[in-house]
């Protein structure tokens, strides 16, 4: 084994973490899981081509992956702050913070949000020799295995491995939907598990649509992306997946949660010239549609590339079968 790799395998097996049994359960070996989950998320971005240079910054993609791992194994109602491992991994021996210009890298700061983190730091980088090693798929697998087997109980190790597969396969699916270059890195695939296949499809569709619309709602235009990487928009099918099995970007739009509900309920639609239609039903039975009613006739926001605009055939089906004309 490469001596450098052996040294990093040892470092990854000795990452410091809060070890309070009252706060952390058996599934995380009674330790805070933030650092290993964060590193798994970074590895996923490297594997999918989302990180190509040794410069890791807070991003929606990284936050989304971290949240996915957290939700997969942690109790409902608990929240993991990505800023904590981003900052505190600096004591690990392989993670180096990059201060903002004219800011000294002083240890001991209280970093409780990504917003505060970026006040002091541009991001972070691995040791250069480690990042070189991480370009090797086999090294990624070895380090991933060390993280999963060292910091998590056997009953959640499979779930974490599956989540890594979902993350990579959904990135591949998203690239396929957008016609991008295919990702070449491989993890162990679980191809006969329908639950995993559905998660891959759903997550890949979401990634493609949110990227195309740049986190803006196609109907109301709202864009809200928090410093922690939370977005207000969802990926909506024009013709539901259950009826069409169609994940083409032309059968999707990014919609905020409110507009998504109005669209699915047939209270909003889109006309032949991409103008917004608002159903007269919104004014009935004492309803108060608020700003929704003012959107009538406004042209929707569309992706930059016309090839990805919502297809008129799908919009017509929605108007005929879902939109409430009266």
Q: Which of 118, 148, 178 is the last residue of a domain?
A: 178
Same domain flag for 154 and 22: yes
Residue 210: inside a domain, yes or no?
A: no
Instruction: Compute the average pLDDT of residues 28-34.
Output: 96
pLDDT at 180: 62
Examine the pLDDT at 291 and tell me if it is beyond 50.
Answer: yes
Residue 187: inside a domain, yes or no?
A: no
Same domain flag for 227 and 173: no
* Three-state secondary structure string covering 180-195: CCCCCCCCCCCCCCHH
Same domain flag for 19 and 135: yes
Residue 40: inside a domain, yes or no?
A: yes
Examine the pLDDT at 9 and tell me if it is beyond 60.
Answer: yes
CA–CA distance, 200 with 244 (Å, rounded to integer): 17
Q: Which of 156, 178, 200 is the last residue of a domain?
A: 178
| pLDDT, tens digit (0-9, with 9 covering 90-100), for 163-176 | 999 999 999 999 99
Strand, helix or coil for residue 56: strand
Same domain flag for 151 and 23: yes
Which single residue is written with the structure tokens 């928090």? 226
Q: How confident is the model at residue 1 (pLDDT cuts 50, 70, 90)?
A: low
| pLDDT, tens digit (0-9, with 9 covering 90-100), for 97-109 | 999 998 887 777 8
pLDDT greater at residue 103 or residue 315: 315
- The b-or-e profile of 122-159 (16+ CB within 10 A means b, else e) is bbbbbbeebbebbeeeebbbbbbebbbeebbeeebbee
Owning domain of residue 222: 216-321
Q: Which of 125, 156, 178 is the last residue of a domain?
A: 178
Handedness of CA 130, 135, 138, 140 (dihedral sign): positive
| Biggest alpha carbon–alpha carbon distance for the chain | 73
What is the token pair recorded at 128? 């250069």
pLDDT at 5: 94
Angle between helix axes 34-48 and 60-73 (nearest 10 degrees) is 130
Same domain flag for 95 and 164: yes
Same domain flag for 279 and 131: no
pTM value is 0.89
pLDDT at 107: 76
Examine the pLDDT at 247 and tell me if it is beyond 80.
Answer: yes
Instruction: Compute the average pLDDT of residues 43-63.
Output: 95
- Which residue, among 147, 14, 16, has the nearest Cα to 85 in the 3D structure? 16
Q: What's the domain count of the chain?
A: 2
pLDDT at 186: 47
């Amino acid at each position: 084994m490469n001596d450098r790799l052996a040294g990093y395998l040892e470092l990854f097996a000795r990452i410091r973490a809060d070890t309070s049994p009252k706060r952390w359960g058996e599934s995380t070996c009674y330790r805070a899981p933030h650092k290993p989950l964060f590193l798994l998320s970074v590895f996923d971005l490297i594997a999918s081509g989302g990180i190509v240079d040794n410069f890791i910054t807070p991003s929606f993609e990284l936050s989304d992956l971290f949240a996915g791992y957290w939700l997969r194994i942690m109790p409902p109602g608990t929240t993991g702050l990505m800023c904590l491992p981003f900052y505190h991994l600096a004591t690990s021996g392989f993670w180096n913070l990059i201060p903002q210009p004219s800011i000294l890298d002083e240890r001991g700061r209280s970093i409780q949000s990504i917003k505060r983190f970026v006040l002091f730091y541009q991001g972070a980088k691995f040791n250069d020799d480690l990042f070189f090693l991480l370009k090797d798929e086999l090294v990624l697998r070895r380090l991933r295995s060390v993280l999963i087997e060292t910091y998590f109980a056997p009953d959640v190790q499979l779930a974490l491995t599956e989540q890594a597969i979902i993350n990579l396969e959904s990135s591949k699916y998203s690239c396929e939907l957008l016609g991008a270059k295919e990702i070449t890195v491989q993890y162990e695939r679980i191809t006969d598990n329908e639950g995993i296949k559905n998660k891959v499809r759903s997550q890949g569709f979401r990634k493609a649509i949110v990227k195309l619309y740049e986190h803006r709602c196609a109907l109301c235009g709202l864009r809200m992306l928090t410093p922690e990487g939370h977005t207000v928009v969802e990926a909506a099918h024009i013709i539901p997946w259950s009826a069409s099995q169609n994940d083409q970007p032309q059968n999707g739009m990014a919609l905020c949660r409110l507009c998504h509900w109005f669209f699915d309920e047939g209270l909003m639609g889109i006309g032949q010239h991409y103008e917004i239609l608002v159903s007269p039903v919104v004014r009935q039975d004492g309803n108060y549609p608020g700003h929704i009613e003012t959107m009538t006739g406004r042209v929707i926001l569309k992706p930059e590339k016309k090839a990805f605009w919502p297809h008129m055939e799908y919009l017509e089906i929605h108007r005929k079968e879902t939109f409430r004309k009266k």
